Structure 1
């Protein structure tokens, strides 16, 4: 080591050379990997798609920014059912809405088309070992134990609870419009409502989120912040596989060093979620340790999902039981998956009803007649699901505006996607697409749900009346592999949304009260919808990251 003019010892030539050698070696390895990946993906290059806008992030900025809805509409109309887009460093990825190809992805070859590594590891570290973070036999074992919790029988038992929570919201809104029509940020209250529905119906816990006089606790705040924070990281999450195999402490240390406030916020939010769900779980577990009879009595009185799940876990064969870590994972996953998707769907419905006053009045009339026939204001499960116009409004909204626009998969082996209609490529028409191992594939939920070849020329139009008559024959012929209403809104196959009946019940209970009690009209502000993980409304031009949906509300 030689002395520097400033009294410091300068590194010797061999040390400098060693550092440079390592840097050059790492750069060469990265280039070698990227070029090798490009060569493997050459069969995809002939598939048409939009030009990349960035060498580093490809088309991601177009896929997920505020105006992404227009971009999605443009690429589907321009390039058809199979589209090639670019990810990081010109990584070729497919966006697929062909029904036959989607059947292969979600049903026939679901073990080849698995969840992306960044998706699995991201949810594992943010939410724990829940349904969103497991694959294969592990996922099926979790799902087997959870399936009875989401049965129709259990949904019936939750209906009175949902009515009671919604009454609380109506009381709050009645106070706000007591002096006449008022502009209210409805998404804020729908978020609070959805959070309380899943808290009480899912965890047997209350955030008191509908009481404006009660200060919100850190748990409730963290749940509300989770999705906006996660959405702000949606591009960075695709780089997660690069560090996912590092030790947990090293990942956490590295994340804290990053000069990115949203990363630090994500760490804080997930720490709170895990801490609070563990406290709730330990309280329930303590009842079990005090004696099985005491615990069973609590379970017989409580209908929340986690209590019922814990009871099922006790009664299950040893090989099917979930460890504590996985029960905790289901709890945090429930909070995330059930609250924001429901509030997104309800926000969209109320916005559409405000823009279509005739449809709003028709729905109100059906609900009033149903209550008059039954002689009660709280319709039971069977009465709610038998209302055709209410069902049509829900189905049409979830078809045209699914809260989640894409389902992401990555191929674990070379495979081929058969197509129901040939596509035009740079080398001519082809009726199947070869997909190399390691290719990212996005199932285009919104594209298939609005496909004019399936739903007709008005496929992109919100028209609930289409569900009151016979659907076009092309809908049945398409054989869409979804679990709900010939759509992919709740996906299909072994990873279909397990809680879609829960979500449907929430929506119908809430609408049965809000539409009868209040009239909704658009405000003068322009609303745009952000496409992160879950669609959320915002005022155009606003810098506020929180969802916003100002509407004029008045008593009926």
Structure 2
């Protein structure tokens, strides 16, 4: 018996040793292939691009909005042309970047290219399985389902909410200015605008009152805010842990992990309760449901119930869509409005001209002082007419588009090739061996390669927008250069801020009208000026946000402005 046990133990030990040897050999083979063999066979290796040691990344050059305008201009004009490659996590991770509109159009419209699983996993952790992190059939089905909630008519129906909350913000600021005693005050515009857009999307999206403009203690609002704040401050190491070792959050959760999980539970419990209430009202076929319930959740539920049961979304899926739109519809719009006010504070002549258009325009049926004391009903027909008039103001439209061009909320985005592909180019690419890929020819890309879409870079490209591309000039929208009206980029000219193609933002009408209404409500009342002695920088974390240089670690995201009452 002892001999048999000894032989069995010996056999098991040898088997375990063989298994470990195979695992180690497999790991070595994988590592050698990853670091040396695959890069040699990668077609992107032949493209021009910046040099660096084997394990050096170019992430800081391509992701830091404080330096990317200079970096991109140098790379495209002086060194590599419009299409090149750079290092991701090292030389083994070549990534394609292009400012060629034909390349961008191909990548954004072809089903070969999808958001990387890393991006979808990171967003999915916070927002669930929303339309912004889905691909393939699920993405197409979701786009079809949510389409009715963002038509021009649907957005118009929500516009009285925009006006009501914009007026509440105006009144809160007026009270803050009054307490100063000098008819002016300094406060964090970014925080106030974010509270406003949260309130707007709460009503327009869920028919839910966050009441963030008056009190930030509401539990769902607080949960979203805490969760997004943790995400914004996440280090690269933390993000990598979340992506590649998600089980660590469950086994060894740190304090931020625990807070995030608590926040998600609060959001989901409240959200499911709200969905059930809305569905009951819809299925009861109340006479006033179709006419009065115009929030996005109600529209989604009605659209969902008309589908075949097999194509209907679960309550969790519905909640995930709302969480996605809350992030995209409130946070990104708040960032855009905040940057607009910052830019207007730096260009007082543009601010004065815009204010004059708003005051003189058809939206100004009353004087600024009488509007200051007005109250509006959410269902008011006059409010809808007023927002229609605001939407038609040409200079306001130009200022907002120029803001989105110069300071897009999303700095850049990634796609991954799900198959080997040939990408057509419209500008020559000079390969490292001297060979030239000419117009209407193709560059090769292998399955698994990343493509970096430089949203801000394209928005500031001199080849597209002219030699003054980096200047804030709303008048350019009166006569766009030929490169900015390419048929490859329909819609908002070649403005990449809302993307286009399969992954274009479905809520762009909502965002544009919301921003216009808020700006048109604030400017007749206030004058915005920079705060002396501070410098505003850009911090890129999912969205590009403002911060005071030297105070990011201690005070976080903020945009202090000096706000004074406007007097005729």
- TM-score class normalised by the smaller sequence: 0.7 to 0.9
Q: State the Cα deviation string for residues 493-513 of structure 1 (Å, max 9, x = none).
A: 111100000000110000011
Q: CA deviation at 1:293?
A: 2.6
Q: CA deviation at 1:132?
A: 1.6
Distance 1:447 1:275, change over 3 A: same
> Residue 474 of structure 1 aligns with which residue?
483
> Residue 121 of structure 1 aligns with which residue?
121
Does 2:281 align with 1:300?
Answer: no
Q: CA deviation at 1:316?
A: 3.2
Q: Count the aligned residue pairs.
A: 528
Q: State the Cα deviation string for residues 235-268 of structure 1 (Å, max 9, x = none).
A: 458858974xxxxxxx654224568665555444
* Contact kept in structure 1, 2:421 and 2:444, CA below 8 Å: yes
| TM-score w.r.t. length of structure 2 | 0.85
Q: CA deviation at 1:406?
A: 1.4
Q: CA deviation at 1:131?
A: 0.3
Q: State the Cα deviation string for residues 166-221 of structure 1 (Å, max 9, x = none).
A: 1111111001111221111100101101111111111111111000xx35233212
**Whole-angstrom distance in 2 between the partners of 1:147 and 1:101:** 27
- The 3-state SS of whatever aligns with 1:538 is strand
* Contact kept in structure 2, 1:483 and 1:496, CA below 8 Å: no
- The 3-state SS of whatever aligns with 1:458 is coil
> Residue 418 of structure 2 aligns with which residue?
412
Q: CA deviation at 1:23?
A: 6.9
Q: CA deviation at 1:229?
A: 3.1
* Contact kept in structure 2, 1:227 and 1:340, CA below 8 Å: no
> Residue 393 of structure 1 aligns with which residue?
399
Does 2:207 align with 1:204?
Answer: yes
Distance 1:234 1:76, change over 3 A: farther
- The 3-state SS of whatever aligns with 1:442 is strand
* Contact kept in structure 1, 2:177 and 2:185, CA below 8 Å: yes
Does 2:154 align with 1:154?
Answer: yes
Distance 1:537 1:487, change over 3 A: same
**Whole-angstrom distance in 1 between the partners of 2:241 and 2:447:** 19
* Contact kept in structure 2, 1:100 and 1:420, CA below 8 Å: yes
Instruction: Give the alignment of 1:212-227 within 5 angstroms.
Output: 214-227=215-228
The CA RMSD measured in Å over matched residues stands at 2.9
Distance 1:242 1:89, change over 3 A: farther
Does 2:348 align with 1:338?
Answer: no
Which structure 2 segments of 5+ residues have no match? 1-11, 372-382
Q: CA deviation at 1:104?
A: 0.7
Q: CA deviation at 1:370?
A: 1.3
Q: CA deviation at 1:44?
A: 1.1
**Whole-angstrom distance in 2 between the partners of 1:30 and 1:324:** 42
Which of these residues, 354, 377, 389, is aligned with residue 363 of structure 1? Answer: 354
**Whole-angstrom distance in 2 between the partners of 1:98 and 1:399:** 17
Q: State the Cα deviation string for residues 479-498 of structure 1 (Å, max 9, x = none).
A: 34253233111111111100
Distance 1:486 1:62, change over 3 A: closer
> Residue 426 of structure 1 aligns with which residue?
432
Which of these residues, 297, 315, 320, is aligned with residue 306 of structure 2? Answer: 315
* Contact kept in structure 1, 2:363 and 2:387, CA below 8 Å: no
- The 3-state SS of whatever aligns with 1:193 is helix
**Whole-angstrom distance in 2 between the partners of 1:475 and 1:29:** 48
**Whole-angstrom distance in 2 between the partners of 1:153 and 1:13:** 72
Distance 1:62 1:221, change over 3 A: farther
Q: CA deviation at 1:276?
A: 3.3
Which of these residues, 492, 509, 533, is aligned with residue 501 of structure 1? Answer: 509
- The 3-state SS of whatever aligns with 1:504 is helix
> Residue 491 of structure 2 aligns with which residue?
483
**Whole-angstrom distance in 2 between the partners of 1:452 and 1:123:** 33
| TM-score w.r.t. length of structure 1 | 0.87
Distance 1:266 1:81, change over 3 A: farther
Q: CA deviation at 1:63?
A: 3.6
Distance 1:233 1:21, change over 3 A: farther
